[in-house]
Amino acid sequence: MTEEEIIQLKLSSGEEILCEIIQWDDDHNATILVKNAFEIYFLQSPTGAMRLCTLRPFMVGQIEEGYNIALNGDLIISQASPSREILSNYRDTLGEYLKFNEGPTDEELKEIEKEEMAENVLPFPRIDKSKLH
């Protein structure tokens, strides 16, 4: 993944997304193929003293290897190269999502099995039926 492949797009809906371009549209087709698309989400404190930018998946469940999104190129109103800070945030966020989607490692699976095998049920004390009312 190089910086040239990652682009920031502003859509006609007002959303801003960061994504990797796989294929641009052409004269016959307005569809752009992208992958690993994240929406840029801006937050501001109530006083306006602090602003921050966070990323969330543009489409749920599409941040995995082999998943592409077909984006209508007619809905893009502008494009730009992302700033270094946003690009760094994108790489970190993408890495976390890909790591999460890989599933547990062999060591983690062994630990899970160990926890499941451990006796986790406490026995109730025996009840003397002769003392029941």
Instruction: Please state which CATH number belongs to domain 3-115.
Output: 2.30.30.100
User: pLDDT class for 105, splitting at 50, 70, 90?
Assistant: confident
pLDDT digits (tens, 9 = 90+) for 7-39: 999 999 999 999 999 888 888 888 888 999 999
Lowest-pLDDT range of 50-64, 69-83, 99-113: 99-113
Residue 47 has pLDDT above 60, yes or no: yes
Element (H, E) at 72: strand 69-72
Buried b (16+ CB within 10 A) or exposed e, 75-107: ebeeeeebeeebeebbeebbeebeeeeeeeeee
**Nearest by Cα to 19 from 101, 11, 51, 27:** 11
Structure token digits, residue 42: 């801006």
Q: Residue ranges per domain, the chain?
A: 3-115
* pTM of model > 0.85: no
